Amino acid sequence: KQEVTQIPAALSVPEGENLVLNCSFTDSAIYNLQWFRQDPGKGLTSLLLIQSSQREQTSGRLNASLDKSSGRSTLYIAASQPGDSATYLCAPYTSGSRLTFGEGTQLTVNP
């Protein structure tokens, strides 16, 4: 059974900082891995999807990397803004478990 761990659980930074969110997973036989954002009282929004054959994906100020063999992924956020404040969830996709979510990292970017 896939298990996903996200570190840190919570993070508070001043505006403008670059930051890294970490995700580790136990079953490396994944098809892809997605990073999501969840705002309070809202659903999940997909930010980036990395295929198992890829090493990284970029979208604007976001960059996600994947090291499938070691079961790790990171989400890098450049020049953070208050609007980035949300919970970020990592979810590897396997044939058996489908998407398994981590507990998330709650990010607060202070103006």
Partner 1 sequence: DAGVIQSPRHEVTEMGQEVTLRCKPISGHNSLFWYRQTMMRGLELLIYFNNNVPIDDSGMPEDRFSAKMPNASFSTLKIQPSEPRDSAVYFCASDGEVSGNTIYFGEGSWLTVV
Binding partner 1 (rule: CB under 8 A), the pick from 102, 105, 107, 109 is: 102
**Closest of 110, 97, 106 to residue 3, by C-alpha:** 97
Binding partner 1 (rule: CB under 8 A), the pick from 11, 13, 19, 44 is: 44
Q: Which residue has the tokens 């999807």?
A: 49
Residue span binding partner 1 (CB under 8 A) among the ranges 9-17, 45-53, 60-68, 73-81: 45-53
Nearest-angstrom CA–CA distance, 108 and 98:
29
* Start-end of H helices in 1-111: none
Instruction: Give the Cα-Cα-Cα angle 109, 101, 88 (nearest 5 degrees).
Output: 10
Binding partner 1 (rule: CB under 8 A), the pick from 49, 63, 74, 85 is: 49
Residue 89 as a binder of partner 1 (CB under 8 A): the answer is yes
Under the rule (CB under 8 A), what is the footprint of partner 1?
31-32, 34, 36, 42-46, 49, 89, 93, 97-104
